Every structure is written in structure tokens, then in C-alpha cells.
Amino acid sequence: MTEQINAFEMAQAQFDHVAEMLNLDPQVAEMLRWPAREFQFQVPIRMDDGSMRVFTGFRVQHSDARGPSKGGIRFHPSETLDTVRALAMWMTWKCAVADIPLGGGKGGIPVDSSTLSMAEKERLCRGWVGQMYRNIGPRQDVPAPDVGTNPQMMGWMMDEYSKLVGEYTPGVITGKPLGGGGSLGRTEATGFGVIYTVREAMKHLGMDSTKSVAAIQGFGNVAQYAAIGFIDQLGGKVACVSYWDRDDKQAYTVSHPDGIDPYFLQSITDIYGSINKDKAVEAGYQIEDGDAWISKEADVLIPSALEGQVNAESVQRISSRVKIVAEGANGPTTPEADEVLKARGIFNIPDFLCNAGGVTVS
């Protein structure tokens, strides 16, 4: 991505545009442009080698007008307060569109969780809760897994919160392991939800899903189940996925002339979403640059990585064949790219509808 994207400025620009379209009361609009509360704090952690490392933690509660704030906790090296602000705002709209009685929240720590041992991850999760437990809870703010976090980590957080408040409180966190109070189907929910919205968009546009091809950015939780759903449920073909290679510190696109097999790729993918390139090549897959996915000859593009990936520069590489962009990630399309998609007649499924399956099933 060549242009620098400030996610919160992008979220506010999107909101301002819609507020003007709705002729929203300016006083209400000004209130909704800003988070209700935000927290920034330090989390000191004893590392395995005995050293002390201090991490920065964030939590933003954008709105609780419809109910407790709701939204994930991200562990990602590029996490910033502005990113968390934007994601919290988008969660408010997402819960409203899905008609769930919750508001919007989001949290995070700027860290690459793949560089931490299991014990260090646990201490970091418990440390984050130690700083935030007075301001989260089933009736205040309910976190969940997101980029760089998983059900096990949610289990640690729930356990720490329960210890600190003196009672077992499974409702403080969603996305926990199934045996620890989690929801059946939560793992697949976001990716399958993406496919359900794609299915309805195809019906609206009169497209035959069995003759359609998708190109997917990412191969984390959302992208994996979006790929499975596009093939198994819609009968289509997935030309490629992309992923971040932890060893090479760069992104790659993985494609196959006959379409990818998501189950095979899952079998050679580690818990952080990195695909084993050597095994993929042995199986006939092609390894390309990380941004190659967006220029594939496909009917549907599904950006399912991070925000700002479809921007003023990258949108110019989208094939004339593309009919749908389904936003599996949060905020993947910038306002400038939105205008290009609209001008080209490409049907854009916005993130707060497209990926609402996760919060719905949580």
C-alpha cells in the first residue's frame, strides 16, 4: 500500500458523507463523530528471559447508546489509537445494522503476537485486563477476539476478569473456547457471513454463483471460511488468497490455475495465517507478489486483511470483470476508492454488513 491511511479520519469522512445524505441533525452528528470514552495505558510484562517489557494498551468505547460497547481486541504491530477509534466507530454502525442491542468498542496492543511465547501471551492478556477490568463487563463493554488474538487468549482474559471481580463472569468476553462458554459456530461465522452477503448480492445482480470466480486478500480466520463458503456453498471457484509471511516479512499471493483448495492450504498454514510456500509450490500453486490478488480476473473481490487496502492507487488495478467487492475486513476501502468503484458500477458490500456474522454469533 503506497498511500498512508489514517483510519479514524477515514471513518469520520465516511460518517460525514452519510450524515449529509441523511440530513442528520448537526448536533447529533457532531456527537457521533467522536468516541464516548477512550483509554490508553501501560502493561508491564515479565518476559521469559527475566527482562521487563512495557506494552501500550488501548480501549475505545465509541457508543453505548444501544447497549454495552462491543468489539474485538487486536494484537498487531501497527496498532494505533486512531486505528482503534475507527474500528470502534465502525462497530457502532455494525451492531446497529445487524439490529443487535450493543454499541461499538475496540481495543488493542501494538505487538506481533507471533514473537511471544505462550506464557508471555498469557501474561500480556491478563495484564491488559488488569488495567481495564474496572471499565469493561457484561453491562459495560464486552471484548472479543480480532486480528492477532484467538479463543484461548479470550479464555485467559475472562479468567483474569473473574478473579479480579471475585466471581465467574463468562459474559465479559465473547469468542471464548467452546468448552469455556464460547458459541458453537463462532469460528466460521464471520467468513460464512461474508458469503451470505455475497450470495444475496449475486441474486440482486443476476449472477450465476457456480460460474463465478473470487479473489481473496488474506488467509486468516475470515478469509479461510470465506474461501470455503464460496466453493462449498456457492459452487464457485477461488482463484487466489494472500497472506503475510512471518519469516520473509512480506505478503504473498497464492494462486492455482484450477482454483485453490482451501482445505489443503489450511493444512499447511500456521496459527498466524502464514502458508508454507514450499509445500504450496510442490502442490502446483504459484507464489506472486502480495498485491497481485487485486488484479486477478475475478467476478468478486473479498479484501479480508486490514483497513485501507483498496485505495486510490490499488483500485486502478481492479479488473473490468469484477462485479462485487465484499468487505470482509474492517475499513478495507478508502473514500477515494469508493468513488472509483461507484463510477465503474461495481457493487460494494460495506464492512459493517458484510462481516457482521462474527458479532452476531458471538
Which residues are marked as active site? 106
Residue 228 to residue 146: CA distance in whole angstroms: 20
Write out the DSSP string of 191-250. Answer: HHHHHHHHHHHHHHHT--GGG-EEEEE--SHHHHHHHHHHHHTT--EEEEEEEEETTTTE
DSSP 3-state assignment of 271? coil
Write out the DSSP string of 34-92. Answer: S-SEEEEEEEEEE-TTS-EEEEEEEEEEEE-SSSSEEEEEEE-TT--HHHHHHHHHHHH
Which cell goes with 58?
A: 488501548
Starting at the edge strand found earlier in the chain, the sheet holding 300-303 runs 286-289, 250-255, 237-245, 213-217, 300-303, 324-326, 347-349
Do 192 and 167 form a contact (C-beta atoms < 8 A)? no
Residue 28 to residue 33: CA distance in whole angstroms: 9
Which cell goes with 105?
A: 468498542
Residue 98 to residue 33: CA distance in whole angstroms: 20
Residue 233 to residue 210: CA distance in whole angstroms: 10
Do 141 and 169 form a contact (C-beta atoms < 8 A)? no
- Compute the chain's Rg from CA coordinates: 20
Beta strand pairing call for 286-289 and 250-255: antiparallel
Which residues have CB under 8 Å from 340's CB, separation 6+? Answer: 312, 315, 316
The burial of 250, by beta-carbon neighbours within 10 Å (0-12 exposed, 13-18 middle, 19 or more buried), is given as exposed
